[in-house]
Structure 1
Amino acid sequence: MKRCKILFFIFSIVLVSFSISESAEDLVEQVGSGSINWTDGIIVATGIGAPPEQYYGKPNARPMALQAAKIDALRKMLEVVNGVRINSTTVVKNFAVDNDTVVSEVQGLIKGAKVVNQQYMSDGTVEVKVELNMRDQFAQIMLPDDIKDIPSVTPTEPASNNVSTTPNVLTSGKYTGLVVDARGLKAKPAMSPKILDENKQEVYGSSSVDREYAVKQGLCGYAKDIVSAKKNERVAGSPLVVKGIKVDGAGKSDIIISNADANILKNSSDNASIMQQCRVMIVVD
């Protein structure tokens, strides 16, 4: 029996370690009482509720606690949503302040947030976790109007599933995407960031992408390390990897790269499809 307990303990540690290593790959930003998973494009909030004191121990105590927890979770979700950076100068709260239509649409999305977990505690309280997808409807509301639908571009050759560990310099000029290494710059993730050259001319941003792609998968993906970024299906194969040299904008979401790297991308035969299909990953600390 003692041996079984030891084995169970070891197995539990292995499971916990595995789950931690998996989640450690995601770029998660804590905002207020919730968080934004920029890697998966998910906003998360957790609420706690308790029944009125006079109902403790009665049959309807649990349903009342559950309802209170859901209300608390949605309230916290609104706080997190208000803090989402749309671009390097604007967060959702500022964007929606003078737009009743946006406020109404956002409130509707929050009310429909998905309950992904609920736990009943021994003290009678209930904990509810809710999630909201930042893609699709949310992105349609928040992304700039200047992102238009663009006629399809000629697709590139299918990307290999093998991720190269060698420098991304291909004689053919064929790239499957762009990875911008912005580590060490204190860069902040946003829904609509820009990649600029040293003259602050836009290399990649809202004017470059097709709205359908931007709404469905976001203008770019975020990762915490180069390996994870290069493996991401958005760019996997032979992405061009460039180093950010500094950030721009009050929100520190726009990344400046060298003119030399900007020219490599501009001169690539796949530049148009990379831009339009949002095949861009940004690596931040």
Structure 2
Amino acid sequence: MLAGLLVVPVGLYAASRRADDDIERVGPHGSIDWTENTIYAIGLGAIPNNVSNDAVAYLKARDYAILDAMRNLLMAIHHVHIDAVTTGQEYMARDATIRAEVEGLLHHPRFISERRIREGRDSMVEVTMAAPLYGNGSVAEAFRSALVPQREGTSDNGDRGTLGTEAVPAPSTPLPSVRPQVDEDSTPYTSVIIDARGYRVQRDMSPKIYAADGTEVWGTVYADPNFVIEHGIVVYAHSIAQARQLPEAGSHPLILRAIGGSNSPVHADVVLSQADAERLARLNARDGFLDRFHVIFVVDPMD
């Protein structure tokens, strides 16, 4: 198992992290970084003091720390919101294929770093390991059947919770207004940016957009699974300015303001006014940005 580790240079890992990381903590030793789209886990192994050879003692502790990190990585995957209703753990419990895919993913985690630390009088080895949310050998690949459903069967609209804004109060501090855009603009829209700040919208891997009447506008995708696995379907930002800078935004994004979020267990879907929902559908029919997954949600930072 340990032979399958993918080593990532520590310097590259440190350089890639930014101050505005969007990190969801999972227990004391796991985290989901929604900026880097990566799950991280830390493992600890005590260096035995009853082994005469220091190198052997270190390697024993390192092996234990790797196993501990892999357990914590699995715990973090359990907590990933696959959709607005179901976590990774729940999908794994009811689908043997998904469970096997996740177990296979854990056989080849990314080894990020290791260091020797002190805990009182004892020495320990601390290792950091990671698994990507998207791409080859990713969480998305393991959960592909959940992220990209088959066309046959019924819609899952009925079990994602009721819609509306009553359970999520409007922001106490007014947010900057979004300047209205007129449909007469003949320039094709390159993406949609939905400002959902103030509604405590959470991140997940397959969020949806609803109209105020409960109609799903977008989110149940029947796309090339390989594309969804590689890129995901929604990108998150913390401000309109940040969203505009993302490559998915393009040069001419459509900017809309959400009126709330769905009252689902994970609370990850967004709700638009009826007028904006109809406008979004109409402009996408003209320009096709939803079909290219050029969708950005502006949400509140993690607590």
TM-score over 0.5 for the pair: yes
Q: Given the alignment of the two structures, is residue 114 of structure 1 paired with residue 110 of structure 2, yes or no?
A: yes
Counterpart pick for 2:293 among 275, 278, 281: 278
The Cα shift of 1:63 comes to 0.9
- Could you tell me which runs of 5 or more consecutive residues in structure 2 were left unpaired when the two chains were aligned: 1-13, 152-177
Tell me which residue corresponds to 1:178: 192
1:44 has 2:45 as partner: no
| Counterpart in the other structure of 2:238 | 224
Q: Which one-letter code corresponds to 1:46 in the other structure? A: I
Aligned to 2:169: none
The aligned residue for residue 257 of structure 2 is 243
Q: Find the residue that maps to 2:76 and give its secondary structure.
A: helix
Report what 2:149 is aligned to: 146
Aligned-pair CA distance for 1:101: 2.2
| Residue 132 (1) aligns with residue 131 (2) | yes
| Alpha-carbon separation, structure 1, partners of 2:91 and 2:100 | 13
Residue 234 (structure 1) shift: 1.4
Q: 1:267 to 1:129 in 2, by over 3 A?
A: same
Q: 1:63 aligns with which of 59, 64, 81?
A: 59
| Contact 1:210-1:277 at 8 Å conserved across structures | no
**Which AA in structure 2 matches 1:83?**
H
Change (3 A) 1:168 1:71: farther
| Rounded Cα–Cα distance in structure 2 between residues aligned with 1:24 and 1:241 | 26
Cα distance in 2 for partners of 1:31, 1:125 equals 22
2-structure distance, mates of 1:34, 1:246: 30
SS at the partner of 1:251?
coil
C-alpha separation in 2, matches of 1:185 and 1:235: 22
Which of 258, 267, 280 is equivalent to 1:265? 280
Size of the aligned set, in residue pairs, is 251
Q: How far off is 1:225 after superposition?
A: 2.0
Query: Are the structure 2 counterparts of residues 269 and 206 from structure 1 closer, same or farther at C-alpha, using a change threshold of 3 Å?
Result: closer
RMSD between aligned alpha carbons? 2.5
Residues in 1 aligned to 2:35 and 2:182: alpha-carbon distance in whole angstroms: 26
Trace 1:31-110 onto structure 2 (pairs within 5 A).
Answer: 31-32=26-27, 33-55=29-51, 58-110=54-106
Seen in structure 2, the aligned counterparts of structure 1 residues 278 and 269 have a Cα distance that, compared at 3 Å, is closer
Q: 1:30 aligns with which of 25, 36, 45?
A: 25
TM-score (normalised: structure 1):
0.80
Hey, what does 2:219 align to over in structure 1?
Answer: 205
- Contact 2:49-2:57 at 8 Å conserved across structures: no
CA–CA distance in structure 1, aligned partners of residues 72 and 199 of structure 2: 30
Indicate the percent of aligned positions where both proteins have the same amino acid: 29
Per the alignment, in what secondary structure is the counterpart of residue 129 of structure 1?
Answer: strand
Q: Which structure carries more helix by proportion?
A: 1
Shift of 1:276: 2.1
Q: TM-score, normalised by structure 2?
A: 0.75
